[in-house]
Amino acid sequence: MKNRTERLREIQPNWELWQKLYYQNQQSYIRQRLLAIKYLWQGKGRSEVAQQVGCSYVTLTEWIDKFLQGGLLELTKQITHQVPSRLNESQQMELKRMIVETTPTDYGIDRYIWTGKIISEVIEQRWGVSLKDSRIYEILDSLKLSHQKAHRDYANADKELQKEFIAILKKTVMAASR
């Protein structure tokens, strides 16, 4: 019966995929895994590879098992932590409604655009739950809401002033073209 390292070496290296995944994944722990597999493919021993990439022998063995199970793609899956939400389902649904139908000004905040920090403030104010921005973005993802970088915060435009500005602009363009 062959050991893990021998079974790994029997798999033909896909260097193109390896390179793509290495550049695609910026996290050091994923790159560390990819480098370990590369060194093993190149014929280095497990103890040497573990020392070279800075992991324990047991951890390297776990990475080899992951690779043998699902290849390079399995090896590059990000670590996810299943932390139960501190907002219950009804609170999350209410939060979604709040974000979609209202603005932060409705909750005493002097901004018109929802940001992670503002959402966190409103959650703490409303339900007494303190959440980090990163957790806010996970909740937004689970609620199927996009999160984008906020831009400068402007108040809602005055429709009458907009019409007046457009009329003046048209007159100026017409006068300049004569």
Query: Residues 35-58: pLDDT tens digits?
Result: 999 999 999 999 999 999 999 999
**For the chain, what is the largest distance between any 2 Cα atoms, rounded to a whole number of angstroms?**
91
Instruction: Compute, in degrees rounded to 10, the torsion defined by CA atoms 87, 92, 95, 101.
Output: 180
Residue 3: Cβ-neighbour burial (10 angstroms; 0-12, 13-18, 19+): exposed
Distance of alpha carbon 91 from alpha carbon 99, whole angstroms:
12
Residue 152 has pLDDT above 60, yes or no: no
| Euclidean distance between CA atoms 96 and 129, whole angstroms | 16
Question: What is the amino acid identity at position 115?
Answer: T
Residue 145: pLDDT band with limits 50, 70, 90 = confident
